[in-house]
Chains A and B, each alone.
Chain A
Amino acid sequence: MLRRTLAIAVKELLQLRRDPRTALTLLGMPILLLFIYGYALSFDVQHIRLAVVDEDGSRAARDVAEAFLQSGYFDLVSHTRDVRVLDRLFDTGRAQAALVVPPRYGADVASLTPTTLQFVLDGSDSQTANTILGYARQIVSSVSPVVRASARGVVAGVPLVWYNPDLASARFLVPGLLAFIMMVTAVIATALAVVREKERGTMESLRATPVVAVELLAGKTLPYLLVSFVAASGSLLLAHLLFDVPVRGSLVWLAGVMVLFLAVSLGWGIFISTLADTQQVAFQLGLLSSMLPTLLLSGFIFPISSMPAGLRIITHIVPARYFLEALRGIVLKGAGPASWWPQIVGLVVYGAVVFGLATVRTVRSL
C-alpha cells in the first residue's frame, strides 16, 4: 500500500517538476506576498493631504496651522483664505482634510472666549477618517489652553500594547499570511491535481491499476503537503529574518499545528475535487470556499467581533479561524497549549468531518 502511495506521489512530483511555472508560482507567490505585506501594507496613516483655510490671519491661527504641520502626520497641499476652493480640492481628492480657521478665532483666543475650529474631512474611507480625526483632536487639545482648568475629574489612561508593542503590520499580518498560503496551496493545488486526471480522462487508466481510492488520495496529496509546508516554513523564516517576526513559543508545537491545519486543508481540497468535473469549476469552488473565507472570515484583517451575528456563526466553520488564533498564540504570544487547546479541538473536529465526507464521496465516485 505504501509503495503504491509513494509511486503516485513520485509521479505527481515529476509532473510538478515538468511544469516549472506552477512550481514557481506555488513557491514564489508566498515570497511576493510576504514582501508586499511586510513592506507595503500598513494601517499607519501618514502624509494626510491637508488644506488650510485661514479666514482669520491672526498669529493664533498661524500657530494652530503650524501645529498640524509640525505633527508629522500632515502634508500641506493648499493654503488659502477662501473657503470656496475646498469643494474642488475634495472632489478631485487633492485634499483629504481641511482645517478651517474662522474669523475672530485670534480675538477669541486672546480674550479667552471659548471658540471653535472647523475640521472638514473626506469620510469615504471611514477608518482613515477616524484616525485622522483622532490626530486632529490630539493636536488641537495640545495647542488649546485649558480653561475651567481643574485636574479634578480627569481620568488618564496609560496605554500599553502587548506582543507587538510598535504595532508593526508585518508582525500581525504574517500569521494570517501563513494560513492563507497553506490553505491556497493545499486546497487549490490538490483539487486541481485530482480533477485534472478526471478532465483528461487519465482517471480511467488509474482506475484500471491496482491502486485503491485511499492510496490515490494519499499519493496525490503528499507532494502538495510537502510543497505547502516548505512554502509556509520558508515564509516564516524569511519574515523572521526580514521583519523581526519573533517565534516566542515552541517550534514543535508550531510544526504540529501547521501540519494539522494542512491536513484539514488537504481534506477540503479532496472534497472539492469530488464535486467538480473540470479544473475551472474546481478552481472557482476552491477560491470561493477557501481563499475568500481565509482572507475575510478568519479574523486575519477584519475583526470577527465586528461582524453581524449570522456571519460570526459562519466563521466557526472556517478552519483558518482556529489556526490563526493558535498561530498567533504560539508565534507572537509565546503561549502554551493551555491557551489554545480549544482551537486544536476545533481543527480536529473539522478535519474528521471533512475527511469523512471526502472519503465517502471518493469511494462512491471510484
Chain B
Amino acid sequence: MREDRSPGSGTTRDSGAEVGTMRTLINILVKELLQLRRDPKILPILFIAPVMQLLILGYAATTDVRRVELAVCDLDRTAQSRELVERFTRSTYFEMTGVVDAQPALDALLQSGAARVALTIPAGFADERSAGRPGSVQLLADGADAMTGTLGLSYATSVLQGSSALSGAGPLVELRPKVLYNPDLVSRNYMVPGTLSMILMVMTMLLTAMALVRESELGTMEQLLVTPLKPQHLIVGKLIPFALVGIVEFLTALPVVLFWFKVPLAGSFLTLAVLTLPFMLCTLGLGLFISTMAQTQQQAMMLTAFVFILPQMLLSGFAFPIQNMPRVFQLLTYLVPLRYYLVILRGVFLKGVGFAVLWPEAATLAGMGVGILLLARVRFRRRLG
C-alpha cells in the first residue's frame, strides 16, 4: 500500500528510514521486551520451566533399569534354589515384590503389574544339578511394559550366566569390551544434553510463533503496518528478542547439566555455543513460518507443539534411535533440524569433537535455517500484502 504513494514522498521516507533503521529496530526490540515484562506470569515460566523440564527429564528419562519388580515361585525349596533366588535379590537390578507357592499366583501378580518379571524354579531343580545335568528355570516377562520387561529378562539371563560361570564352566574365547565416550554406560550422559536442545527449540519456536500471531489476533498488526516499518525490520525486530531469550535460557540450563547432573563436557564450551547458533536460526525460522500459517494464538500453539515439536522430537533420535527405524522414516529424519543438532550436542559433550568433525551438521543446519527464514519471509510478505 505504501508503495502506491507518490514517488517523491517515497524517496524522502526511504532515506529517512535508512538513517532510522537501527533506531526502528531498537524500538521494536524495546517494545517486545516491554511486552514480555508486562505479563507478570510469563517471565517466571520462561525461566523456571526449562530448569524444571531439565530436572524431570534428567531424573526420569533413564533407560538404566533398576529395581525391576520380581516375583518368585520356588517349587524346589532346596538350599540350591534358595541360593539362586538370593543371587537375584542381591543384585540391584531386581526388587522382590512377591513370593508365592504356586504358579497361578504369579499370573495375578503379573496381571496387576505388581511384578514385571517372574522366576519359577521347578521341583527337582537341585536333583538335576547334583546329577550333573544342567538345571533349568522359567522366566516370565511382562511384554506390556516392554522396556522393563525385556531389560529385566536380559538382566535375569545375565544373573543366571553369572551363577553358571561361578561353577566352573567357561568358554575358550572371552570377549573383552571397551566402551568409548561413556565408559560407565550412564544413560543420563546421553539424555540430559539432549534436553538442552528441547528447551531451546520449544522456547524459541513457540515464543516467535505466538508473538507475531498475537499482533494479528489483537489487530495491532494493522497499526504496525501503517508505520514506516518494512517487513524485514518487523521480522528482525521480532526475532532478536526471542533469540536473546533462547540464549539466556541455554545459559541458565547449561550449569544445571554440568554441575547438578555432572554430565562431563568433553569438548569446548565455545564450540558448543557457536554450533548452537545455526540451530537457533532454524527454530526461529520455523516459529516465523508457523506464524504465517496460524490465525489465532491457539492455532499457533497447537501447530507448534503437535505438528512441529512432537514429531521432530520422536524422529530426531532424542529417545528412539534412528537406526532402529524403517528406511522410509530414516530418510524423513534428514528433514528434521533437531537431528543434526543432537549429533552436535552429543558430539561435543560425549566425544569432545569439534568443527573438524561436526562441520557437515553445522553447514546443513545453517543452510536449512536460511532456507526456512527466506520461505517464511516470502509467506509473511504475501500475508501482509
How distant is the Cα of A273 from the Cα of B108 in the complex, in angstroms? 41
A157 & B143 in contact (Cβ 8 Å cutoff): no
How distant is the Cα of A66 from the Cα of B49 in the complex, in angstroms? 51
Does any Cβ of A come within 8 Å of B45's Cβ?
yes
B62 & A307 in contact (Cβ 8 Å cutoff): yes
Are A47 and B41 CB-contacts (below 8 A) given A122-B180, A155-B134?
no
Chain B proximity of A20: nearest CB distance (Å): 10
Residues of B within 8 A of A41 (CB): 314, 320, 324-325
Does any Cβ of A come within 8 Å of B228's Cβ?
no
Residues of B within 8 A of A293 (CB): 56
The residues in B between 146 and 186 inclusive whose CB is less than 8 angstroms from any CB of A are 146-151, 153-154, 156-157, 160, 163-164, 166-183, 185-186
A335 & B64 in contact (Cβ 8 Å cutoff): no
Does any Cβ of B come within 8 Å of A92's Cβ?
yes
How distant is the Cα of A165 from the Cα of B320 in the complex, in angstroms? 21
Does any Cβ of A come within 8 Å of B129's Cβ?
yes
- Number of contact residues on B: which range applies? 35 or more
Does any Cβ of A come within 8 Å of B112's Cβ?
yes
How distant is the Cα of A355 from the Cα of B236 in the complex, in angstroms? 45
Does any Cβ of B come within 8 Å of A36's Cβ?
yes
B172 & A146 in contact (Cβ 8 Å cutoff): yes
Does any Cβ of A come within 8 Å of B99's Cβ?
no
Residues of A within 8 A of B142 (CB): 161-163
Does any Cβ of A come within 8 Å of B326's Cβ?
yes
Quick one: CB contact mask for B118-151 with A, threshold 8 Å, 1 for yes?
A: 0000000000010011111111111111111111
Residues of B within 8 A of A33 (CB): 310-311, 314
A90 & B45 in contact (Cβ 8 Å cutoff): no
A305 & B67 in contact (Cβ 8 Å cutoff): yes
How distant is the Cα of A125 from the Cα of B133 in the complex, in angstroms? 39
Are A48 and B141 CB-contacts (below 8 A) given A40-B314, A279-B297?
no
Chain A proximity of B334: nearest CB distance (Å): 14
Does any Cβ of B come within 8 Å of A164's Cβ?
yes
A126 & B190 in contact (Cβ 8 Å cutoff): yes
Does any Cβ of A come within 8 Å of B258's Cβ?
no
How distant is the Cα of A184 from the Cα of B310 in the complex, in angstroms? 12
B315 & A40 in contact (Cβ 8 Å cutoff): yes
A129 & B95 in contact (Cβ 8 Å cutoff): no
Residue of B nearest to A299 (CB): B145
B41 & A276 in contact (Cβ 8 Å cutoff): yes
Does any Cβ of A come within 8 Å of B272's Cβ?
no
Are A40 and B169 CB-contacts (below 8 A) given A159-B157, A303-B147?
no
Residues of A within 8 A of B145 (CB): 172, 299, 303, 328
How distant is the Cα of A333 from the Cα of B23 in the complex, in angstroms? 66
> Within the complex, which residue of B95, B168, B299 is in contact with A19, where a contact is CB–CB below 8 Å?
B299
Interface-side segment among B1-9, B14-22, B276-284, B345-353 = B345-353
> Within the complex, which residue of B148, B160, B168 is in contact with A303, where a contact is CB–CB below 8 Å?
B148
B323 & A119 in contact (Cβ 8 Å cutoff): no
Residues of A within 8 A of B346 (CB): 124
Does any Cβ of A come within 8 Å of B224's Cβ?
no
Does any Cβ of B come within 8 Å of A216's Cβ?
no
B315 & A36 in contact (Cβ 8 Å cutoff): yes
B111 & A129 in contact (Cβ 8 Å cutoff): no
Does any Cβ of B come within 8 Å of A103's Cβ?
no
A339 & B112 in contact (Cβ 8 Å cutoff): yes
Does any Cβ of B come within 8 Å of A212's Cβ?
no
B175 & A117 in contact (Cβ 8 Å cutoff): yes
Interface-side segment among B24-32, B237-245, B300-308, B372-380 = B300-308
Residues of A within 8 A of B180 (CB): 90, 120-123
How distant is the Cα of A359 from the Cα of B138 in the complex, in angstroms? 53
How distant is the Cα of A134 from the Cα of B181 in the complex, in angstroms? 19
Quick one: CB contact mask for A113-144 with B, threshold 8 Å, 1 for yes?
A: 01111111111111111100110110011011
Chain A proximity of B66: nearest CB distance (Å): 5
Interface-side segment among A21-29, A219-227, A251-259 = A21-29
Name the 5 nearest CB pairs between A and B, nearest first.
Answer: A153-B167, A164-B143, A123-B182, A144-B173, A123-B179
For this complex, 12 residue pairs linking A to B, each with C-beta atoms less than 8 Å apart, are: A25-B307, A114-B170, A118-B178, A136-B175, A150-B132, A155-B134, A192-B298, A280-B210, A281-B39, A293-B56, A307-B60, A340-B112
Additional A-B contacts beyond A162-B110, A311-B56 (14; CB < 8 A): A41-B314, A109-B173, A117-B174, A122-B181, A124-B182, A125-B321, A126-B185, A126-B186, A152-B132, A158-B136, A158-B137, A184-B306, A306-B65, A307-B62
The chain A residues found within 8 Å of chain B, CB to CB, are: 19, 21-22, 25-26, 29, 32-33, 36-37, 39-49, 64, 90-93, 96, 109, 112, 114-130, 133-134, 136-137, 140-141, 143-165, 167, 169, 171-172, 175, 184, 188, 192, 196, 276-281, 283-285, 287-288, 291-293, 296-297, 299, 301-303, 305-308, 310-311, 325, 328-329, 332-333, 335, 339-340
The chain B residues found within 8 Å of chain A, CB to CB, are: 39, 41-42, 45, 49, 52-53, 56-57, 59-69, 84, 95, 108, 110-113, 116, 129, 132-151, 153-154, 156-157, 160, 163-164, 166-183, 185-187, 189-190, 210, 293-299, 301-303, 305-307, 310-311, 314-315, 319-321, 323-326, 329, 343, 346-347, 350-351, 353, 357
